[in-house]
Copies of this chain bind each other. A is one copy, B any other.
Amino acid sequence: MKYPGYHQSREMSATNESIGFDIPSYMASVGRQARAAGRCLARSGTDVRNEALRGIADTIESSALELKQANRHDLEAGRARGLSSALLDRLTLTDSRIAAMALGLRQIAELPDPVGEVNELKFRPSGIQVGRMRVPLGVIGIIYESRPNVTADAAGLCIKSGNASVLRGGSEAIHSNQAISRCINQGLEQAGLPSDSVQVIETTDRSAVGELLRMVQYIDVIIPRGGKGLIERISQESRIPVIKHLDGICHVYVDDQADLDKAVSIAHNSKTQRYGVCNAMETLLVAQAVAAELLPRLQSLFERDQVELRGCQKTRQLLGNIEPATEQDWSTEYLAPVLSIRVVADMDEAMDHIQTYGSHHTDSIITEDYSKSWRFLREVDSSSVMVNASTRFSDGFEYGLGAEIGISTDKLHVRGPVGLEGLTNQKFVVIGNGNVRQ
């Protein structure tokens, strides 16, 4: 019991009763403990952190019954509160989801340790040798919504990268998250790491989030995971830097020099391989010269998959019988079987469209033209820019990062899928031999 009211608060919050303790002082305790634990984690050996990850995986598996029991409380409360079936599904812990959490942690344990890596120690004329060493960021605050597996995933990535973490899940998952938290703490302690290395906020009181976002002295970065509303609110309110992902308005541009077979399969895959994901195509841009040949081919595929098409005037002339795309459509992330289509004069018009309506997430050109492929790669200012590939590849696992805590559409620190490296930074190291500056 490291701060007053700890155990009591867990019980009270978990039953959603009124909070019997002081949120600001509770959060300050969490912050202080995270900072202290972060120092231990940053100094811990690769083997110790990996042992903790495997220990947590084992504990999660052996606690499957308790996890499902805790989860049932959440599901009952959720049904009583009238949560949608989609939300209840996301909230549910099944045996296979529990196994997947454990597997994910073991996979993180297998990844190379980013911490302590030294790049390019170069001698300078002064005689010093200068390089950079990769180091953890410190303490990471993660705010997320209903899926309880995020608790294990996020904790795992933070442990591996040597960062302490403060996790705040959705109130509807509080029992499940607390149960997972107990497995995490046990695994940490068995490996000899402080259990405070991962702290799951024990109260559902919303003011705890406000406190978290102001603790500049204890928290180094905030990562929100969830819907756009959550992320916008957190970005607005946070006094701490935020790594965020707002929209995923992804485009495929089919150039007049495209191989149309590639264009058909990539456009189809980018839209239909999965709908509710940020890297699905939302708008298809087609060069005028190939529109008449390409669009009818795509239309029959999309009709088969019951994808609703909305088009610009030229598209509608070619396809007929589809709804017009409004100005609003170009900046909408459907996350659904809906696609807006626009015919453009050329690549410049396509890039202008992407600049105007895109969200700097993922954009792909389909072309066999060498110069245009490089211009598109260089000039489109998105976190992932592709040639002749499906936007669905924009993903930490597909890119070989081994794991992913999210996708950043920000300009600073990290762009695109954020893996272990994105949870670290590099400091300078100087190897001297008595050198002084002249």
Contacts and interface: CB of A to CB of B under 8 A. Distances in A.
- Tell me the interface secondary structure of chain A in the complex: mixed
Given A386-B432, A425-B412, A393 B220 contact: no
B425 A130 contact: no
A184 B375 CA distance: 28
Contacts of A78: none
Interface stretch (A98-106, A260-268, A291-299): A260-268
A241 B412 contact: yes
Contacts of A387: 430-432
A437 B413 CA distance: 28
Interface stretch (A14-22, A23-31, A131-139, A141-149): A131-139
B416 A135 contact: no
A417 B130 CA distance: 12
Tell me how many chains of this kind the complex includes: 2
Given A135-B381, A430-B386, A392 B273 contact: no
A312 interface: no
B124 A383 contact: no
A381 B429 CA distance: 11
A383 B425 CA distance: 10
Contact of A42 (B133, B379, B430): B379
Interface stretch (A54-62, A153-161, A394-402): A394-402
Given A399-B428, A427-B382, A428-B383, A411 B133 contact: no
A437 B394 CA distance: 10
Q: Which 7 A-B pairs have the closest CB atoms?
A: A389-B432, A269-B436, A262-B434, A386-B430, A392-B437, A388-B432, A413-B413
25 contacts: A116-B378, A122-B400, A124-B398, A124-B400, A128-B393, A128-B398, A135-B381, A221-B411, A261-B434, A262-B434, A266-B436, A364-B430, A384-B427, A385-B429, A388-B432, A388-B433, A389-B436, A390-B435, A393-B430, A393-B432, A394-B428, A399-B428, A411-B425, A412-B413, A415-B425
